[in-house]
Structure 1
């Protein structure tokens, strides 16, 4: 491992000031707040990156991070949390097809574009879930030009989303008939989402706390941003909220995780209570 001291069990230990440097590095790039309570999690990831890059000391690794955007990306990838599965928070998908989209298209004509953004999209389960759900549950899906975009800061997760191979818990909520209809057998007993669905979701890199990154894709009618703001501190949540607000078209809808709220961190959102879910709406112009 190099010059990092070892703790119990021969695990490398970061000095307090080095731990802060890593946490600050990740925070500035992602908005995710880490600290002493996550020491083991942080040390393991730093140790893995030092081993894979062949750096002999923490100081040398920090120098590599400052000079190598590619290594900075790999370290950030190692810190992101990609635990999700198909049809997660299904009540929000019901609200999307039963209430949100009908309200949006009431102001549109046949063939008009409707834009839906899943950010972060992790390894693709969430945007692909939206595509499957609408095909199965929204009779008007073919009457409009539905554009689904999946974005994440983790480039490894985006590569996995593009590959579209899943197994185990990721598929556990899907009924067998949907597995047969939208997936094909893959190696090692997994399932790969069919090409038509993979091609229906565009995948890009984006960062919730980077205004330029968020603005690059234009405005959306619906944004799903679920179970990520819980990892942010108040300042990062406020920045993300401003960027999400700017990325919504007037009257557009924001769907957060069930434990998350826009309360106290952003102006310009109204809470809407539908039969199936509570969501947040940008004020119409």
Structure 2
């Protein structure tokens, strides 16, 4: 419910453009005009929450805030997170049937395999990866698998680590997996096992910020699905280069079904496996 103070705040065209440019510089996310209602609504809510009188005073405070806490609140409000377990599961099939087979050819038994899921949203994707590996990859016990998952939104990261899900979130899970890895939480929700929560390393990362991505190296597979659709061409290239730098030679990237790395950069080669098309960082000495 909007407060009386919030209902008095107006976001002008000039305000929207100022905010859009600022938010883009900070996050790489670009809002088109068709997102105007959504952006204005969230902005007015944050202006009211901080007690600012109008957009101008709020925006001045936002730009010069030392700690960045209000910017994080704003990021949390502006990002959309909707997903479910086993979404676009054909890529998980490709992971266990083909990609990992190539990854382990370059590794010794007992060595580390790193998989990075970004954005994590509320955790459905990284936990789906963990379940797929446990249930469908015969070599899971032969390697040290590390699952990393990141998001720019601290609220969804907290929800992911809590690990409690609605019936809709788990509706695509085979019933034996639901019974094995979840328990009832209240009348309607499901809580994922503590072992799976402990198996995923969650962290806040802005894919457009080099300082955030620099520590991600020697990654074997990146799942970055349905994120780049919110970026413009420049931000997509920055994100693609960050993933390229994070990957080990020969590592793979999985994008959403409507996204194409080939339209962003020539850094990656295209691999067409039986279950899915993915993108690959060239091995040393190869070219994309």
Shift of 1:63: 2.0
Structure 1: how far apart are the matches of 2:29 and 2:135?
A: 35
Superposition RMSD in Å: 1.5
User: How far did 1:168 drift?
Assistant: 2.4
Residue 26 of structure 2: aligned partner = 29
Tell me, which stretches of 5 or more residues in structure 2 are unaligned?
A: none
Q: Please name the residue that 1:220 is paired with.
A: 219
Contact 1:207/1:213, CA 8 A, preserved across alignment:
yes
Contact preservation (8 Å) 2:167, 2:188: no
Is residue 150–residue 204 contact of structure 2 (8 Å, CA) maintained in 1? yes
Question: Match for residue 62 of structure 1?
Answer: 59
Q: Distance in 1 between matches of 2:218 and 2:10?
A: 45
What is the aligned partner in structure 1 of residue 183 from structure 2? Answer: 184
Alpha-carbon contact 2:47-2:58 (below 8 Å) kept: yes
User: Which residue is equivalent to 2:280?
Assistant: 281
Rounded Cα–Cα distance in structure 2 between residues aligned with 1:62 and 1:242: 31
Counterpart Cα distance in 1 of 2:158 and 2:82: 15
Does residue 71 of structure 1 match 2:92?
Answer: no
Match of 1:16 in 2: 13
Shift of 1:162: 0.7
After superposing on structure 2, the runs of 4+ consecutive aligned residues of structure 1 that deviate more than 4 Å are 1-6
SS in 2 for 1:252: strand
Which structure 2 residues correspond to residues 158-177 of structure 1 after superposition, within 5 A?
A: 158-177=157-176
- Listed one character per residue, the Cα deviations across residues 121-161 of structure 1 (whole Å, up to 9, x for unaligned) are 11111000000011010011111000000000011111111
TM-score, normalisation: structure 1: 0.94
Equivalence for 1:43: 40
Counterpart for residue 261 of structure 2: 262
The Cα shift of 1:5 comes to: 7.9
1:45 Cα offset (Å): 0.2
The SS at the match of 1:238 is helix
- Unpaired segments of 5 or more residues in structure 1? 7-11
Other-structure match for 2:245: 246
Deviation at 1:54, TM superposition (A): 1.4
Equivalents in 1 of 2:111, 2:12: separation in Å? Answer: 57
User: Alignment partner of 1:129: what SS?
Assistant: helix
What's the counterpart of residue 9 of structure 1? none
8 Å CA contact 1:223, 1:253 repeated in 2: yes
Contact 1:4 1:58 in 2 (8 A): no
Q: Which moved more, 1:90-99 or 1:30-39?
A: 30-39
Please give the alpha-carbon distance, in whole angstroms, between the structure 2 residues aligned to 1:52 and 1:196.
37
Give the direction of change, closer, same or farther, for the CA distance of 1:113–1:71 in structure 2 (3 Å limit): same
